[in-house]
Each structure stands twice: as structure tokens, then as C-alpha cells.
Chains A and B, each alone.
Chain A
Amino acid sequence: MKRIFAFVTVVVVISGIMAWSTPGLLKSVHLGLDLKGGFEILYEASPMEGGEKVSRQSLLKTAQSLEDRANKLGTSEPEVTTEGTNRIRLKLAGVTDEAEVRKLMKEPASLTFRSKDGTEKSENEYNKIEMVGTDFVENAAKLELGSMNEPIVAIKVKDKKKFAEITERLLGKPLAIYMNDKMISDPIVQNVLSDGTATITVGGDRKKAEELRDVINLGALPLKLTEKYTQSVGATLGKQSLDKTIEAGLIASAFILLFMVGMYRVPGLIAAFTLIVHTWLLILVFVWADFTLTLPGIAALILGVGMAVDANIITNERIHEEMKNGKSVMSAVKAGDKHSFRTVMDSQLTTVIVAAVMYWFGTGAVKGFALVLIVEIVLSIATNIYLSRFLLNLLLKAGKLLKPKYFGVKESEIREL
């Protein structure tokens, strides 16, 4: 009785958790652009003028400013990644006006130093542009340490006279530093600076000082972005193909589950249950690890489910074989489990090795495919090998299922010893 109780508890509790959590989980799965529609651009960055090399710092800064801009446009979760030494990949979903976005994104970073001119609506606004990025010497902004050992940013301008005039006029007043339309810092002018250099204190915050330095250097030498590759998927198209694919997947799953139950009866039922748990766990991992589900991911999922089904088929076929050779139900299951365990492990581990190598050496889609496959196989070993055996053994030890017909084996097929 105890074992039956344990069996029922495990099944009911897991089913309950799955039923309760699935709707929420499904909503929080991140879908890739190929599934939900959106817009992907690969930029190649090159310096605006001259043949200077693109520095890592300015590339990162450019990527960050792209992200800021995308966020401002109200797109959901922009994804910005740098690739190699001079490429930036930008993924946007939910873009309504694509032309506008592409135009805005390509605009180079604009650095301005501003003061107040009386038209400001709030305390933190500065409207009069005093200096622009190209007024500064390229790559001259540096991080230095002040007299109190606090980080300061040293800058150099091209036109000493202009800078002297500005600092004289704004002496004791703030001169705000803007990146595009975002204020980075608004230091107060302390002296009239006539030698074309200045230092800016940021209150001892090293991170802030570093950011300021990068912003000024980028502003002085903005990167030009050229679209190397663009791909846009209309949201309706993405949604359509996703719905169809899910529908096809559900029909295929129903077929597989029915097949398992039809062929293997009670163990088939357990296999169907563990297959569902397996898929649920996979979704859970996707949500927890913040993976993005893309088409390659779905391909890996299909392969993974196929292999999980295979694991069940191998085990149950082996049990059938042992039964047909005249073993009792108990010892047939024991022998079947033992022999098939090695088979399943070897086949799944070989595939894991293939996937691991693909992950290691692949890029982009290949990497995504391999990662999902590895996760799936690990989950599959946990559910379709361990969980299903555990459940089957609970039932067996409870004294149930001691007839071969519960396993889908006819008495007539059993060979007499």
C-alpha cells in the first residue's frame, strides 16, 4: 500500500506543479526573432574619419548607446552583442516603424557640452550647445588620479581660444556633458582654462569616470555603422509560422504518446508521463537560464524528444525480449533495465559528445542547437531513465502489474523454458 501511495503522490504532485506553472512558464519563454518577428541588423563599425582602428572601448560604447536608443524607442528587450573586433549585432522585436528605427540607429554617437540658455523646463536640462564631439582631440580623454587620489578625467580640446572663452563665460556655472540626449555629467567650471586641457572630477566614482572617458573618446571619434546584413520578419508572419509549428508539434506528440501506451501499456503510460515531465523541465530551464528559443532550438528539441522516446522504446523492447524468453515479470524488468541502461547511456553520451564539440567550435545557430541538445539529453537521462524506472519499480514492488499483459506482451508470445 505504501508504495502505491508513494506512486500516486509522486504522479499527482508533479502533475499539479506542471499544470499550475505551465501557463506562466510558456508566457515567459523568450522567443527568437525567427519565431516572433522582429528585426536583426549586423553592423560593421568603422571610424568616421581616417583609417584609425576601432578600439574595443569605443565598440562597446557604441553597442551600449545602440541599446540605449533601442530602449528609448520602446522596443521590447533589445539584444545587442558585439562580434569580433568591429561588428555589432542588434536584435529588436516589436518594431512598428522599421525605417525610422534603422535611421535612428545608424546615427553616429553625438557628444555635446551644453550650458543653460533660459529655455530649460527643469533644473537638469541644458539646451545651449557649446561644444560638439569633434572639438575634442581624438582618444585624448584619459583617466588620471587627482590630489586626493580620486579618479578624474583629463581632456584635451582642439581650439584653445574657444574653450577659454566658454570657461570664462561659464565660470562657476555648470557645463553639462551629453551623449546623444542623455546627460552624463554636469561639472561646474572652476577655472578659466586657456591651455586647452581640463580635468573633470566625478565625485570619486571610478566607474563613472571610466564611462565619461569612453563617452568623450567615442564622441571625439564616432564610429560609422554600415549595415552588413539585415533581416526583418513581419510579426504576423512570425506568429503564423510559430502557431502552425506548435500545432504540428502537439499533433506529433499526441501520436507518440498514444503509440507508447498502445505498444507498452503500463510502462508506456509511465513513459508518456515522463516525456511530458521532460518537456516541462526543458521549458523550465529555458525560462530560468534565460535562453532564447529559436528555430535551431526547436530542431534540437525534436531530436531530444525523439531520443527520449528511443530510450523508452529500447528499455521496453528489452523488457519484452526478456519476458518472451520466459523470465518472470520482476526479473524481466530487472534484466531489461540493467541491459538497456548501458545501451541508452552509450547512445546518449555519444550524442552529447557530438553536441559538445559543436558547441565548442560552432557559431551562432550551430551553438544554439548544440546547447539545447546537451540540456535536453541531461534532462532526458533524469526523467526517461531514472524517473520512469523509479515509478515502474514502485508499482512492481507494490505487487501490481505482475502479468505480462500489462506490458503489452501476449502470453502466447512467451517461449516456454
Chain B
Amino acid sequence: MSFKNLNYVHLSKYFYIFSIALTLAGIICLSVFGLNYSVDFRAGSNVDITLSKGITAEQVQPILDKLKIADEASISPGEERMNIRFTQVLNEDQEMKLKGEISKLDEKASFEVNTVDPEMAKELARNAIYAVLISCLGIIVYVSIRFEWRFAVAAIISLLHDAFMVVAVFSIFRLEVDLTFIIAVLTIIGYSINDTIVIFDRIRENLRFSKLKNRQDLIELVNRSVSQTIMRSIYTALTVFVAAFFLFLLGGESIRMFSLAMVIGLLFGAYSSIFIASPLWFVLKSKQKNKPAKAS
């Protein structure tokens, strides 16, 4: 197969450009527009209603006006579901009245009400970021012992890359970020490190049986290692991707954004292991080789 004999190190230039461009776009988008936070991260109430018959926004609006909770509330009607988002936290009384009024329109309506103090969600997010950063230290220690520090650095850059890419994509496409998003990013990080280590393991194995005289030897070694593991990378990415994709297509509404984040993250995870992590290790390693003679 053709991709078995690709010059990954050579190609990585383009992928670096792609990743850096996307990172920059992500940073710009994040700093200008931020993320489209769900009600988890904003004070306010979110009411999801499962309906047995169609109810239009026009029918609901008067109820909100009557209860004096219409202030910037947005209503998104659907076939079987209706979502009403309030910019204020409904008190118990308002919540009960709202449910009562809507039940008058549809007796079988079932409600999912989230009333969130954003402080809790922010606390969890902050905590998750700390946990990820500290676990990077764990990776540095373990990988430095089992491999060498260059692998650790490359692995961490690639896993942070994956996590950030998902955040960037969510920011660029204005996809909604809720609490499950944090869990999805953690999952992606787990996958990314697992995926990267397998390729690194092959580089380590090949290193032991090779004499590296110059830069060209090193390039060949990285290319050989990646191509020896490329089938595994593809199969694994494919199976995990398909599993996540089924979850996205068929899973419940409440985990749709979660599965989407997983699908995007898994693709980036597979991509970065091959095109970012391994070439990055090469860059670090080639600096060490006492400036080997320029390859022909």
C-alpha cells in the first residue's frame, strides 16, 4: 500500500503548518468569541421538554410573559422536544408554575430542568485542567524512565495538541460546550497518549538494532517505524472512530455533543500520533546527534 512507504518526516512540514494554522485560528477564535457555553457554565435555567404533540413557540411565549420569566429566554421548538433557556435562575415557584402551564398544553410532557450555579461547572473545569496538567508530569516521569525525555516531550505536545484542537473546533463552529465536554476531552487525552506510545515503542525497538550515522538514517528509522505500525494505527483509529460515530448517530440527545467531541478528538488523536508526535521526536533527536553531516 502506498501510505506504507510515505516519507512521514518529510511530509510533517505540511502537517505542522496545518496544525499551527488551526491552533492560531483556535486561539484567535477563543479570544474573540470564546466558547459557546451551555447553561452548565452560565447562571440560568435550561428546561428540556419531551412532548407527545407539537407545541409552537407562540403557544409558550405567553406563558413565559405571564410568569414574568420571558426576559431574553430563548425557545427552540422541535418535533418531540422543546428547549427553553432562561438567562435567570428560575425559583421553585416559577419552575412549578411553568411545568403546570405546559402540562396544560400537553398532559404527557416530561421535563428535564437544569438550574445551575455556574461556579460549580467552572470549578470542575478548572479542576480538570489542573488534573490534566499534573498528569502530564506523570507522563514525563514514566516515559522518561521507560523511553527517554524526548519521547515524553513529543507525547505531551501531541496530547495537548489534540485536546486543544477539539476546543478550537468547538469554538470555531460555535458548538455547545457542556459538562460532558470536559469528560470527552479527558477521554481523548487517554486515547491520544495510548496511540502515541505504541508508535514510540516501535521507534525505541528499531533504535536498538540500528546504527545511526547521519540525519538520513534517523529519517529512515522514523519512517520505517511509522510505516510498520501504520496498519495498526489505522485499524485502531477505525474501530474506535466507528464506535464513537455510532454513539453520535444513535446515542441519546443528551450525549450528542459529547460523542461529537469524541469523534473529532479521535481523528485528531490518530492524526497527531503519526504526523506530529513522531516527526517531533525526530526534530528533538536530530538536534542531539552532534549535528550530523548534512544528508545528501
Residues of chain A having any CB pair with chain B under 8 Å: 34, 42, 99, 102-103, 227-237, 240-242, 244-245, 247-249, 251-253, 255-256, 259, 263, 295-296, 299-300, 302-303, 305-307, 309-310, 313-314, 317, 321, 339, 342-343, 346-351, 353-358, 360-366, 369-370, 373
Of all chain B residues, the one with the shortest Cβ separation from A255 is B242
A236-B50 contact given A306-B240, A358-B131, CB 8 Å threshold: yes
- Considering only residues 177-197 of chain B, those with a C-beta below 8 Å from chain A are 179-180, 182-184, 186-187, 189-191, 193-195, 197
Q: Is the CB–CB distance between B117 and A362 below 8 Å? A: no
Given A306-B243, A317-B231, A365-B182, 17 new contacts (CB under 8 A): A235-B110, A248-B251, A253-B243, A256-B239, A299-B183, A299-B184, A302-B247, A310-B198, A314-B198, A314-B232, A343-B202, A348-B194, A350-B142, A353-B139, A354-B139, A363-B124, A366-B182
Q: Which of B235, B249, B258 contacts A313 (CB 8 A)?
A: B235
Nearest-neighbor residue (CB-CB) of A305 within chain B: B243
- The binding surface of chain A is classed by DSSP as helix
A296 to B184 alpha-carbon distance, docked (Å): 8
From B96, B124, B146, B184, A99 is in contact (CB under 8 Å) with B96
Q: Could you list some 15 contacts between A and B, CB below 8 A? A: A236-B110, A241-B251, A251-B246, A255-B239, A295-B183, A299-B180, A305-B243, A309-B239, A317-B235, A347-B198, A348-B194, A353-B142, A357-B138, A358-B131, A373-B190
Q: Report the Cα distance A251→B247, complex, angstroms.
A: 9
Which residue of chain A has the shortest Cβ distance to B92 in the bound complex?
A102
Residues of B within 8 A of A358 (CB): 131-132, 135, 186
**Which among B130, B179, B252, B258 is the interface contact of A240 at CB below 8 angstroms?**
B252
Min CB–CB distance A340 → chain B (angstroms) = 9
Q: Which residues of B contact A314 (CB under 8 A)?
A: 198, 232, 236
Interface SS majority for chain B: helix
Contact of B194 among A259, A305, A351 (CB under 8 A): A351
Q: Are B193 and A350 in contact (CB under 8 A)?
A: yes
Does chain A have a CB within 8 A of B56?
Answer: no
Chain A residues closer than 8 Å to B205, beta-carbon distance: 339
Contacts of A302 in B (CB 8 A): 187, 240, 243-244, 247, 262
Is B83 interfacial (CB-CB < 8 Å)? no
Q: Which residue of A lies closest to B141 (CB)?
A: A353
- Enumerate B159-217 residues with CB–CB distance to A below 8 Å: 179-180, 182-184, 186-187, 189-191, 193-195, 197-198, 201-202, 205
Q: Give the distance in Å from the alpha carbon of A351 to the alpha carbon of B146 in the complex.
A: 14
Collect the chain B residues with CB atoms within 8 Å of residue A349's CB.
142
- Assembly CA distance A235 to B50 (angstroms): 11
A343 touching B201, Cβ below 8 Å: yes
| Residue among B193, B198, B242, B255 making CB contact with A295, cutoff 8 Å | B255
Closest to A354 in B: B135
Complexed CA–CA distance, A229 and B155 (Å): 38
Query: For A309, what are the chain B residues with a Cβ–Cβ distance below 8 Å?
Result: 236, 239-240
Residue contact B191 to A303, C-beta cutoff 8 Å: yes
A53 to B92, CA, bound (A): 27
Q: Is the CB of B142 within 8 A of A230?
A: no
B249 CB, min distance to chain A CBs, angstroms: 7
- Known A102-B92, A295-B183, A314-B232: A248·B190 in contact at CB below 8 Å: no
Instruction: Choose one: A237, A361, A370; the contact of B50 (CB below 8 Å).
Output: A237
B64 interface contact, C-beta 8 A: no
Residue of A nearest to B155 (CB): A350
Closest to A321 in B: B228
A39: nearest chain-B partner, CB-CB:
B113
Closest beta carbon of chain B to A182's beta carbon, Å: 26
Given contacts A99-B92, A232-B112, contact A365 B124 (CB under 8 A): yes
Q: Are A229 and B117 closer than 8 Å at their CB atoms?
A: yes
With a cutoff of 8 Å between Cβ atoms, the chain B residues found around residue A321 in the complex are: 228
B251, A229: Cβ atoms under 8 Å?
no
Q: Which residues of A contact B194 (CB under 8 A)?
A: 307, 310, 347-348, 350-351
B23 within 8 A of A: no
Instruction: Given A361-B134, A366-B124, check contact A234 B112 (CB 8 Å).
Output: yes
- Nearest 10 A/B pairs, CB to CB: A241-B252, A357-B135, A248-B250, A252-B243, A306-B240, A234-B110, A347-B197, A252-B246, A343-B201, A353-B138
Q: What residues of chain A lie closer than 8 Å to B110, measured between beta carbons?
A: 234-237
Closest approach, in angstroms, between the C-beta of B45 and any C-beta of chain A? 9
- Minimal beta-carbon separation of B104 from chain A (angstroms): 16
Minimum C-beta distance from B243 to chain A (A): 4
In the bound assembly, the distance between CA atoms of A299 and B189 in angstroms comes to 12
Given A229-B120, A248-B250, A306-B240, A342-B201 contact (CB < 8 Å): yes
Cα of A237 to Cα of B115 in the assembled complex, Å: 17
Residue of A nearest to B250 (CB): A248
B47 to chain A minimum Cβ distance, whole angstroms, is: 10
B143 at the interface (CB under 8 A from A): yes
Q: Does chain A have a CB within 8 A of B253?
A: yes
Verify A355–B232 contact, CB threshold 8 A: no
With A255-B243, A350-B193, A361-B130 as known contacts, state yes or no: A313 contacts B138, CB within 8 Å: no
